[in-house]
Amino acid sequence: MVVINYTLRQLQYFVAVAETGSISAAAVASHISQAAMSQAMDELERVVGSQLLVRRRARGVVLTAVGTDFLHDARQLVRHAEEVQDQIVERQTKLSGPLVIGCYSSLAAFWIPVICERFTKVNPDLQVTLVEGDGAELQERMLRGHLDAVLTHTRHLVPHVEFRRVMSGRPYVLVGGNHRLAQRKRVHLSELAEDDFVSLDIPTVRDNQLVNLRMSGLDPKIRWSSQSFEAVRGLVARGLGYTVLVQRPPVNLSYDGLPLAMLEIEGQVGESDICVAYTASARPSLRLRAFLDFCEEIGTEKENRVG
């Protein structure tokens, strides 16, 4: 049997020091004395055989290179210990405790309301926090231990994550109600080669969708762009170009009531399914497994509604 020389409490204190940037602030957050916190850090460095912190008088601490690597492992160990403890409670009672979920900004309007209404209603003892942002950035935060999972697209996945697909995500063409192709059901991308393109101007779209379209034989003539999903739809509704999107609102109208037409794409085009990403090295907690099952259920409902 391998003898483990450091304690879980020392790891918790080390994470607190790294996150607060000082021994004194970590001591206050952990409800112990500054001397006890300093002693715990000295003992941790002794048993691991490396300097983890550089103490700067009156300017807090900074992590050494070894300390930075150790912090990643310490966070995972602390998080896993918390999950083991929570699972004991969850097996005896209802799901409880914190669950921090990231949501790719373009998915937020389609998923956050139903999560808040239905998932939290059946799990009132869960403290669910939802964070919006760029899918890749949210996953990086998740890998650093700040999020439990991220709702995003499969084309946006970063290395070292696991994921569960919850809904298909085949792109479609969106045109205004008066567009020459508006009465069609399907369209070849080549038919839009000379039309102006309205781009959803966010990093994951620029890095994935435009590349996908070019690989599918269309080099979009970008004329207008916006970071807002609904602003893009509004520009298209006013006849200023077409766009290609994945999210499918149930109503083909812009915010100002102008008609839109959704056209399926004929031929090969890269898909970007909706998924929930989570940390590969950690066994999903009961809370997270319940969330994964919920998203899969909602995704099936959404697909059936569209179909």
pTM of the predicted model, to two decimals? Answer: 0.65
Summarised one tens digit per residue, pLDDT across range 11-27 is 999 999 999 999 999 99
pLDDT in tens, 155-210: 889 998 999 999 988 899 999 999 999 999 999 999 999 999 999 988 777 777 77
Per-residue pLDDT of 66-111, as tens digits, reads: 999 999 999 988 887 877 776 666 555 578 889 999 999 889 999 9
User: What average pLDDT is seen over the chain?
Assistant: 89
Burial of 306 (0-12, 13-18, 19+ CB in 10 A): exposed
CATH topology classification for 94-168+273-306: D-Maltodextrin-Binding Protein; domain 2 (3.40.190)
Q: Please report the pLDDT score of residue 233 as a whole number.
A: 96
Q: Which residues pair with 245 in a beta bridge?
A: 172
Residue ranges per domain, the chain?
A: 8-86, 94-168+273-306, 172-265
Q: Which CATH number fits domain 8-86: 3.40.920.10, 1.10.10.10, 3.30.200.20, 2.40.110.10?
A: 1.10.10.10
| Residue closest to 272 by CA, chosen among 203, 201, 187, 169 | 169
The confidence score (pLDDT) of residue 57 equals 79
The reported pLDDT for the residue numbered 115 is 96
Task: Report the pLDDT averaged over residues 208-221.
Answer: 83
The hierarchical CATH code for the domain 172-265 is 3.40.190.10
Q: State the Cα–Cα distance between residues 200 and 205, nearest whole angstrom.
A: 7
CB 189 within 8 Å of CB 267:
yes
Helical ranges in 31-147 per DSSP H: 34-48, 65-92, 105-114, 120-122, 135-143
Mean predicted confidence (pLDDT) in 222-237? 94
pLDDT at 43 over 90: yes
Give dist(CA 207, CA 225) in Å, integer: 15
Query: Residue 24 burial (CB < 10 Å; 0-12/13-18/19+)?
Result: middle
**CA gap 111, 145 in Å, rounded:** 23
Q: Which residue is listed with tokens 């970590």?
A: 26
Q: Do 8-86 and 94-168+273-306 fold alike per CATH?
A: no
| Residue keyed to tokens 């690597």 | 69
